[in-house]
Chain A
Amino acid sequence: MRELSYRDALNEALHEEMTRDPRVFVLGEDVGRYGGVLQVTRGLLDKFGEKRVRDTPISEAGIMGLAVGAAMTGMRPVAEIMYIDFSALAMDQIVNQAAKAHYMFGGKTRVPLVMRTQGGGGRGNAAQHSQSLEMWYVHVPGLIVVQPSTPYDAKGLLKSAIRDDNPVIFIEHKLLYNTAGPVPEGEYLIPIGVADVKRLGNHVTIVATSRMVLFALEAAETLAEQGIQAEVIDPRTLKPLDLATIVQSVEKTGRLVVVNEGALTGGFTAEVAARVQRAAFDWLDAPIMQVATEDVPLPYNGRLEFEAIPSVQDIVLAARGALYWNAG
């Protein structure tokens, strides 16, 4: 199978969906002529013209307000917010308008928009450009939150997100754009709300999201050398969460490590831990381990940033801890 970068897989999804459905259009800062600072919208302007590829002023509230209005009036906007950190400026449009309209108008309107954005640290972008804020959106009823970790998932999920009639927060990771992976030729979709088992194992379950999936897979290699077979699950969609796949794995392994790049407190790891303990209490043989970012603004200094964000070794230690293997 051919290999594509995460960036090109997303780009291909946009090309295909805009070709398929004339209602689909993209908007955002520098998405047109420049092709997006992350080059995900590259080539769209030449192919689909200025009407469907709109460069906007630097106003996140404006971008999202426009997207909500367009979606309610029958379009399928794909808005790019350059950094998820900046989405704070558009919060009213996302939380109070996009997420609520379908419900508050009694189903008489829909908001089929996609907010594409990217988050995560590890690139020395400092505290205002490195956050993992996915849980802000997971917390809002009415929103779907997607976080692909591979090129294959990125393409299939973006296409599904565009076709979904609900507002979808589609969160990419700034350090995944250059990663490559197999992406089949031709059309395929990945359903929203379905987790993917990225590696099979019997001894401990590791649930990880976004870039942490790659870390978890690397940790699983290290663990395998130590005789521990880890099962790695990528929920891919944070909301709605595919709890069944996770619980099924925990019933097998009896141990769970949850890894997320967001801050520990009030984060994704706590949410998964709470749900799994209720659903699989009798199967747990050890406390559920959480691996998340320290509760600090992410430092600019690379070494400090490395310490704050979960590392492969953190995941290895957590998995060993779940197996009561910590002494060695």
Chain B
Amino acid sequence: MPTDVIMPKLGLTMEEGTAVTWRLAPGDRVAEGQILLDIETDKVVVEVEAPAAGVLGPLLVGDGQKAPVGGILARIYGPGEQVAGDSVAAPRITPLAPGMAEQAGVDLDAVSVSSATGRVTAADVQAALGKTAQGEGLGPAPRPPTLVEPRATRSPTAPQNWGDRGARHFSSPRARKRAKELGLDWRTLTGSGPRGRVIERDVLVAAARPPSIPPTVAKPPSIPPTRGEEVRWEAPSPVQRVVAERMAASFGSAPHFYLSAEVRADVLLAVHDRLLPIVERRAGVRLTLTDLLVRIVAAALAEHPRANAFWHDGRVGVHARVNVGIAVTTEAGLVVPVLRDADRKPLAQIAAERSELVEKARTGRLMPDDLAGGTFTLTNLGMYRVDSFQAILNPPQSAILAVGRIVERPAVIDGGLAVRPACVLTLSCDHRVLDGVSGAQFLGRVAELIEEPYGLLV
């Protein structure tokens, strides 16, 4: 049997991916492990290796096309296996489609195929029906139940450009049974099986972990632009779309409040200057102020666990580890690679790891693991002309620190006026986890360590 090349599942929240570039063409010889194509997920571009040796069959998902997790991208034919070019490439037809087409008087050959499997599905027939019918009274033709599966029951976070075509959301009977027992809606889950099938394991995994995004976020009505206005529509990149969904969910569900403090930065700058050559010698990278901030924030988080926590299902989950996410802007959008156990790592190691993560982010080579597991986020617009700003919480985290630029500011010291570098810190908090006092205590500790970084040595 030919071996399927499938869209891999690279993260818990991944539901679909885009085939960016095929490195090989149909008919090419393939060695096992050879890079077949690049795929783009929500956040990263990843190389897909050939799962078997043989000859590459027709591409079922071409460059730039999307496929759900588990969707077949192509097949690899082993020795002696017929590369049935025609029969594979020719759109096959799912069982429901012919009957639908006949009933509705739609020419099957004229139906365009939407699914990554290359098959004409009942949904495709329905889509074609919609185009040809144009509201003419076709009568209430009985329709297979799959067609009336309401979109409203699909996951609110499901990528719409796949689900919109009426593609089914698959699940095993066991998974549905288990989901029912656990009080979960399997339709909100991401399946790891073929064609994104939700299997029992997915249900158990979902039951065991807090949702990264609250599953029931009321969808606010979208306000369309005034009729007649000229609008150019732009499709968000996958990263932008995820950011949009997560930010809306976060802002809509987590009650935010903000604490600001101006801190002197002269000592920090001096420490940075002194450490720069030392770190360069030790780790071969340039120490940045971000590295110092990560180290300071991590030290403060270890002392203030409530800022290193999250709200889930009426309870507060406190993380045992301190993993600081760093917001990085890339061409594809905003990503937050994670520096793990930042409270236990020396500055040189933080600098080295941060440098590698940022480089991977800029070149789109972050792996899902690089983005997972963050417990707190640091966002720094100090390089822009921003004095202070309020960040939206990175769900499900309970706090995020926004750092503005360091500039010389007047300060009153001992009744006299002095000029010194300073910056404004703004902590955004989830009020379900932190209150004003606990937020202030954490921010106070961060401020203290920025103003007197030698405190880290104590």
Q: A: which residues have CB within 8 A of B?
A: 254, 281-286, 324, 327
Contact = CB atoms under 8 A, between A and B. Distances in A.
B51 A324 contact: no
Given A254-B174, A281-B173, A324-B199, A286 B193 contact: yes
Interface in B139-178: 172-177
A284 B193 CA distance: 13
Nearest to B175: A285
Given A254-B200, A285-B199, A286-B199, A324 B173 contact: no
B192 interface: yes
A284 B174 contact: yes
Contacts of B200: 254, 285
* Residues of A contacting B: mostly: loop
B78 interface: no
B177 A282 contact: yes
A327 B200 CA distance: 19
A324 B200 CA distance: 12
A60 B374 CA distance: 76
A236 B199 CA distance: 32
B51 A283 contact: no
Interface string B35-67: 000000000000000010000000000000000
Contacts of A254: 172, 174, 200
Residue in A254, A285, A286, A324 whose Cβ sees the most chain B Cβ within 10 Å = A285
Given A254-B200, A324-B199, A327-B51, A282 B194 contact: no
B193 A324 contact: yes
26 contacts: A254-B172, A254-B174, A254-B200, A281-B173, A282-B173, A282-B174, A282-B176, A282-B177, A283-B173, A283-B174, A284-B172, A284-B173, A284-B174, A285-B172, A285-B173, A285-B174, A285-B199, A285-B200, A285-B201, A324-B192, A324-B193, A324-B194, A324-B199, A327-B6, A327-B8, A327-B51
Interface of B: 6, 8, 51, 172-177, 192-194, 199-201
Given A254-B174, A324-B194, A327-B8, 11 more contacts: A282-B174, A283-B173, A283-B174, A284-B172, A284-B174, A285-B172, A285-B175, A285-B199, A286-B172, A324-B193, A327-B6
A224 to B, nearest CB: 20
A324 B174 CA distance: 14
A7 to B, nearest CB: 38
A168 B199 CA distance: 42
Contacts of A286: 172, 193, 199
B428 to A, nearest CB: 40
A252 B175 CA distance: 13
A176 to B, nearest CB: 30
B177 A283 contact: yes
Instruction: Kindly list the 10 A-B residue pairs having the minimum CB-CB distance in the complex, ordered from nearest.
Output: A285-B174, A282-B177, A285-B172, A285-B200, A254-B174, A282-B173, A281-B173, A285-B199, A284-B173, A283-B174
A223 to B, nearest CB: 17
A324 B70 CA distance: 10
Contacts of A285: 172-175, 199-201
Nearest to B180: A282
Nearest to A254: B174
Contacts of A283: 173-174, 177
Nearest to A328: B51
Contacts of A327: 6, 8, 51
Nearest to B178: A285
Contacts of B192: 324
Contacts of B176: 282
A324 B194 CA distance: 8
A254 B200 CA distance: 9
A26 to B, nearest CB: 46
Contacts of A284: 172-174
Contacts of A324: 192-194, 199
Nearest to B172: A285
Contacts of A282: 173-174, 176-177
